[in-house]
Amino acid sequence: MIEVESLTKRYGRATAVDGVSFRVEKGEILGFLGPNGAGKTTTMRILTCYLPPTEGTARVAGYDVFKDPLEVKKRVGYIPETPPLYPDMEVETFLDFCGKIKGIPGKERKAKVAEATEKARIGDVRTKLISKLSKGYRQRVGLAQAILANPEVLILDEPTAGLDPKQIIETRELIKSLGGDHTIILSTHILPEVEMTCGRVVIISKGRVVAEDTPANLTRRLKGSGALRVEVRGDRGPAFDALRAVPGVTAIRPRPDGPDATVFEVDTEPGRDVRAELAAAVVSRGLGLLGLHQAAMSLEDVFLQLTTTDAAAAPTPAATPEVNA
Amino acid sequence: MTALRNVMAIAEKEWRHYFGSPIAYVALFVWTLLFGIFFYFSFAYFLEQSMRAMGMEYGGGMKMSLNDYLIGPVLRNMAVVALFISPMLTMRLFAEEKRQGTIELLATAPIRDIEVVLGKFLAAVGLYALMILSGLVNVALIWIYATNPPEWKPILTGALALLLLGSCFIALGLFVSTLTKNQIVAGILAFCLFLGLWTLGWADDPMAGPVMKTVAYLGVTTHMDEMAKGVLELKDVVFYLSLIAFGLFLTHQSVESQRWRA
Going by DSSP bridges, is the β-strand pair A29-33/A200-205 parallel, antiparallel, or unpaired? parallel
Residue A314 falls within a domain, yes or no? no
Say whether B20 and A76 touch across the interface (CB within 8 A). Answer: no
One domain, residues A197 and A239:
no
Say whether B259 and A103 touch across the interface (CB within 8 A). Answer: no
- pLDDT reported for residue A325: 36
Give the ipTM. 0.86
Residue A171 falls within a domain, yes or no? yes
Residue A94 falls within a domain, yes or no? yes
- Mutation pick from B105, B115, B261 vs chain A, by most beta carbons of A within 10 Å, is B105
- pLDDT reported for residue B118: 97
**Domain at A250, CATH number:** 3.30.70.260
**Domain at A167, CATH number:** 3.40.50.300
Q: Higher model confidence: residue B66 or residue B106?
A: B106
Residue A307 falls within a domain, yes or no? no
pTM > 0.80: yes
Going by DSSP bridges, is the β-strand pair A183-188/A14-24 parallel, antiparallel, or unpaired? unpaired
One domain, residues A149 and A231:
no
One domain, residues A39 and A123:
yes
Say whether A88 and B103 touch across the interface (CB within 8 A). Answer: no
Q: Higher model confidence: residue A4 or residue B138?
A: A4
**Running DSSP on this structure, what letter comes out for residue A291?**
E
One domain, residues A232 and A206:
no
A102 at interface of B, judged by CB pairs closer than 8 A? yes
Instruction: Say how many domains are in chain B.
Output: 1
Q: Higher model confidence: residue A274 or residue B165?
A: B165
Alpha-carbon distance of A28 to A152, in angstroms, equals: 11
Going by DSSP bridges, is the β-strand pair A208-213/A14-24 parallel, antiparallel, or unpaired? unpaired
The stretch B40-44 carries a mean pLDDT of 87
- pLDDT reported for residue A269: 75
Q: Which domain holds residue A155?
A: 2-213
- Smallest Cβ–Cβ distance between B110 and the set A74, A80, A97 belongs to A74
| Among candidate residues A175, A149, A3, the one with its CA nearest the CA of residue A76 | A149
Q: What is the mean pLDDT of each run of 10 residues along chain A (325 residues)?
A: 90 87 90 84 91 90 90 92 91 94 91 91 91 89 91 90 82 84 86 81 86 77 64 83 83 80 79 80 85 68 63 41 39
A6 at interface of B, judged by CB pairs closer than 8 A? no
**Taking CB atoms and an 8 Å cutoff, what residues of chain B touch A80?**
101, 104
Q: How many CA atoms lie within 13 A of A216 on its CB side?
A: 5
A160 at interface of B, judged by CB pairs closer than 8 A? no
**A19, A9 in Cβ contact below 8 A?**
no
One domain, residues A119 and A54:
yes
Q: Which domain holds residue B13?
A: 2-261
Say whether A86 and B106 touch across the interface (CB within 8 A). Answer: no
- pLDDT reported for residue B8: 94
Q: B61 falls in which pLDDT band (50, 70, 90)?
A: low
One domain, residues A150 and A184:
yes
One domain, residues A251 and A117:
no
> In the predicted model, what is the mean pLDDT of chain B?
87
- pLDDT reported for residue B243: 94
B17 at interface of A, judged by CB pairs closer than 8 A? yes
Residue A151 falls within a domain, yes or no? yes
One domain, residues A70 and A174:
yes
Alpha-carbon distance of B18 to B16, in angstroms, equals: 6
Alpha-carbon distance of A185 to A30, in angstroms, equals: 5
One domain, residues A153 and A207:
yes
- pLDDT reported for residue A172: 86
- Smallest Cβ–Cβ distance between A101 and the set B9, B104, B260 belongs to B9
Residue A204 falls within a domain, yes or no? yes
One domain, residues A199 and A279:
no
- pLDDT reported for residue B62: 60
One domain, residues A238 and A185:
no
- pLDDT reported for residue B119: 96
- pLDDT reported for residue A282: 85
One domain, residues A133 and A232:
no
Quick one: chain A helix, strand, coil %, rounded to 5? 40, 30, 35
CA quadruple B28, B33, B38, B40: dihedral, nearest 10: 130
Q: Please report the beta strands in chain A, taking only residues with DSSP state E, as ranges in sequence order.
A: 2-11, 14-24, 29-33, 55-60, 63-64, 76-79, 153-157, 183-188, 200-205, 208-213, 228-233, 249-256, 261-268, 288-294
The one-letter amino acid at B30: V
- Residue A129 phi/psi, 5-degree rounding, is -70, 140
Say whether A87 and B104 touch across the interface (CB within 8 A). Answer: no
pLDDT of B126 higher than 80: yes
**Taking CB atoms and an 8 Å cutoff, what residues of chain B touch A74?**
110
Going by DSSP bridges, is the β-strand pair A200-205/A14-24 parallel, antiparallel, or unpaired? unpaired
Say whether A88 and B20 touch across the interface (CB within 8 A). Answer: yes
The most confident of A104-108, A279-283, B217-221, B242-246, by mean pLDDT: B242-246
Instruction: Say how many domains are in chain A.
Output: 2
Share of chain B above pLDDT 70, in %: 95
Alpha-carbon distance of B90 to B184, in angstroms, equals: 11
